[in-house]
Amino acid sequence: MTSSTSTGRYAVEADDLRKTYRTGRGRPPVRALDGLGFAVETGTVYGLLGPNGAGKSTTVKILSTLSRADSGRASVAGADVGADPDAVRHRIGLVSQRPSSDPMATGRENLVLAARIQGLSRTDARARAARLLDRFGIADAADRLVRTWSGGMARKLDVAIGLVHRPQVLFLDEPTTGLDPEARAEMWAEVGRLAGDDRMTVLLTTHYLDEADRLAHRLAIVESGRVAVEGTPEQLKAELRGDVLQVELDGEESAVRAAGLVGTVAGVTSVLREGRSVRARTDAGARVVPVVVSVLGEAGIEVTSATVARPSLDDVYLRHAGRSFGAVA
Amino acid sequence: MAVLRSWRSLRSRVSGALGARAFPPSLDGSAATLPRHLAQSVQARPRAVTTLLTHSSYLSMRSIRALVRQPVFLVITLVQPMVWLLLFGALFRSVMRIPGFAGGASFLEFLTPGVVAMTALFSAMWAGTVFIDDMQRGVMDRLLASPVRRGAMMNGTLVYQSLTSVVQTVIVLVVAVLAGARFHGGVVGVVVTLACACLLTVVCAALSNAIALMARQQEALIGISQFLSLPMTFLSSAIMDPSLAPGWIRDCARFNPLDWAVVASRETLLGSPDWSAVWPRLAALAALAAVMAAAATRTFGSYQRST
């Protein structure tokens, strides 16, 4: 580990990244990144969380040398992405949002080609391909053309291709988008193994809160091209003391009225309505629930359900981004 | 040997110009004991060249394998040349009787080198669609984030396109002979014709790839290709003796790489060639092919800047 490729404490460091896209003549440029920065400790899973267009994918593109930042500095696995992209490319694996295998080749051929490009010998490339096919449980399909594979299997192959050269840092750009629940659970288990058994650093982007909560050791909520808040999922949730009260109503109109009334109850802060439900933060859920139900009952509003829960990442997101995650994702 | 050497030095110069650099081989860590820039300066040239060549061969193989699995694509690309050769050849057979029409004993013999070049042009102009498919999947991004040389990504498709062009050319020639054409140029004529078809293919495929990297849309690529292909065909001697065409068409043809290929292969294929007409055109085609391949590789930069 004392080679020139050792990365020290942080496997990924991004500092004050800025990037603006021109969108065409007469239209204003789009600011994709606006001073984004974060650091990922070696051997951990780091989640970048945010809605589409927040800047997650642009960040991954810059860190994986696909794109250049207008300003700012970033290093991955000990190499500067702007000054030494070739070194970075040897040390990273990229699993992009879209399927990245060649549909007209078999799974095995895809893996062997990727390994050969990374400099493995023919023998090593074949052995590595066989190992990965086994590990991901896709060995049975290995010699069929990828275009005949299911989406979940092809996604596993994408990850296997990203791992073929034992990268130090793996970028997973929305790895479970479009997968069925079973394939999603398998992918989660696999990502957990990467950081655990393989001591690999994983940078994960997602717009699923439960995915970030489950997989990431630390995460950053990205909003409008900058990091809105950063920490471990537990820290972020603990920051929100108290409980979340959620009341479901029989219609949107009554939900609007209910939101106004809930806000007047003592001990309730920050009320938000979404469709037929009203969410509110409170310091003492158990005491507030009966009060809220009776207040709404007196006003003639029918309550379908009222629940109290510990804050979720959605509430963290709500607080920092000023809007509910589900409403924008 | 001299050819090989100069090809290699051209290659290394091209790859040098393209910014190909050696990289510390992190996999085995063997260069880790050397300071990075020292290791680079010691190994840069030979390593960059061999990497470029091996990566080019991997990526060519990928395309060739895909074609072997779907040979129907090759058959489809041969429909158009057969229409030109057999239907067009029959329809315009009597143009030979126009006083002053030169070349060949029959219009079919005159037309065959034209059809070979048109086939190379029209199928190479589609080359960029592979890049766009790769962009629409994540394949292009994955390759660009890997240590694969940009020049190798370009070469891979150019080698593949050239090989398909060889197969197409042979089939067109065989069909022409079966239809009654006789080529007195023999082996030399066939070899020059194959060389012309390959070089023209590299010129057009590199252009198509460059358009693909800049336009990034299938529709735009096809539109631009169509816009270029037909004028290139008609502003040449592919289907008509230029001495019977207006002077301005002859002037345009002089700068048209398709015409260079047609003239060089027609001269040699029909026998007793005027080599002073053949060599300059072959040389111009080769030079243009090298320039286009290098320039097209540079467009990867513009693709990356704008993403």
Q: How confident is the model at residue B103, as a pLDDT?
A: 63
**Of B27, B65, B305, which has the smallest distance from its Cβ to A118's Cβ?**
B27
B202 part of a folded domain:
yes
Task: Assess A20–B contact: CB distance below 8 Å, yes or no.
Answer: no
The distance in angstroms from the start CA to the end CA of chain A is 41
Domain that holds residue B63: 56-305
Query: What residues contact residue B174 under an 8 Å CB cut-off, 6+ apart?
Result: none
**Of B26, B58, B144, which has the smallest distance from its Cβ to A66's Cβ?**
B144
Token pair of B136 as six digits:
């629409």
Write out chain A residues lying below 8 Å of B44, CB-based: none
Q: Which amino acid is at B297?
A: T
Write out chain B residues lying below 8 Å of A78, CB-based: none
Write out chain B residues lying below 8 Å of A21, CB-based: 306
| Closest by CA position to B294, among listed B50, B18, B79 | B18
Write out chain A residues lying below 8 Å of B55, CB-based: 117
Between residues B204 and A254, the one the model is more confident about: B204
Q: Which amino acid is at B235?
A: L
| C-alpha–C-alpha distance, residues A90 and A77, integer Å | 10
Give start and end residues of each alpha helix (H) in B125-185.
Answer: 128-136, 139-144, 150-178
Task: Give the predicted TM-score (pTM) of the model.
Answer: 0.80
Least confident of A54-58, B35-39, B130-134, B291-295: B35-39
Task: Assess B32–A contact: CB distance below 8 Å, yes or no.
Answer: yes
**Of B27, B65, B136, which has the smallest distance from its Cβ to A105's Cβ?**
B65
Write out chain B residues lying below 8 Å of A11, CB-based: none
Binary contact (A101, B55; C-beta < 8 A): no
Task: Assess A303–B contact: CB distance below 8 Å, yes or no.
Answer: no
Rounded average pLDDT per 10-residue block, chain A, 329 residues: 56 95 80 94 92 88 94 95 94 93 96 95 96 94 96 93 94 88 88 83 88 91 89 81 83 86 81 84 80 87 84 72 48
B299 part of a folded domain:
yes
B182 part of a folded domain:
yes
B28 part of a folded domain:
no
B283 part of a folded domain:
yes
Mean pLDDT calculated for residue range B70-92:
89
Binary contact (A104, B70; C-beta < 8 A): yes
Token pair of A87 as six digits:
């070194």
Structurally, chain B folds into a number of domains equal to 1
Alpha-carbon distances, residue B82 vs B85, B120, B162, B262 (angstroms) = 5, 13, 19, 17
Alpha-carbon distances, residue B155 vs B16, B63, B303 (angstroms) = 15, 11, 17
B110 part of a folded domain:
yes
Binary contact (B137, A98; C-beta < 8 A): yes
B238 part of a folded domain:
yes
Q: Is the pLDDT of residue B31 over 60?
A: no
| C-alpha–C-alpha distance, residues B237 and B223, integer Å | 24
User: Testing the interface with A: which of B23, B26, B304 to mutate, by most A Cβ within 10 A?
Assistant: B26
Between residues A92 and B27, the one the model is more confident about: A92
Q: How confident is the model at residue B13, as a pLDDT?
A: 43
Binary contact (B139, A100; C-beta < 8 A): yes
pLDDT digits (tens, 9 = 90+) for B47-74: 888 999 999 999 999 999 999 998 888 8
Domains of chain A, first to last: 10-237 (3.40.50.300), 241-310 (3.30.70.1710)
Q: Is the pLDDT of residue B21 over 70?
A: no
B65 part of a folded domain:
yes
Maximum separation of any 2 CA atoms in chain A, in Å: 77
Residue of A nearest to B25 (CA): A90
Task: Assess A97–B contact: CB distance below 8 Å, yes or no.
Answer: yes
B131 touches B210 (CB < 8 A): no
The nearest CA of chain A is from the CA of B177 a distance in Å of 35
Query: What residues contact residue A107 under an 8 Å CB cut-off, 6+ apart?
Result: A101, A133, A138, A141, A142, A143, A144, A146, A149, A157
pLDDT band for position B45 (50/70/90)?
Answer: low
| Closest by CA position to B157, among listed B306, B16, B297, B50 | B297
Residue of A nearest to B20 (CA): A86
Other beta carbons within 10 angstroms of residue A230's beta carbon come to 17
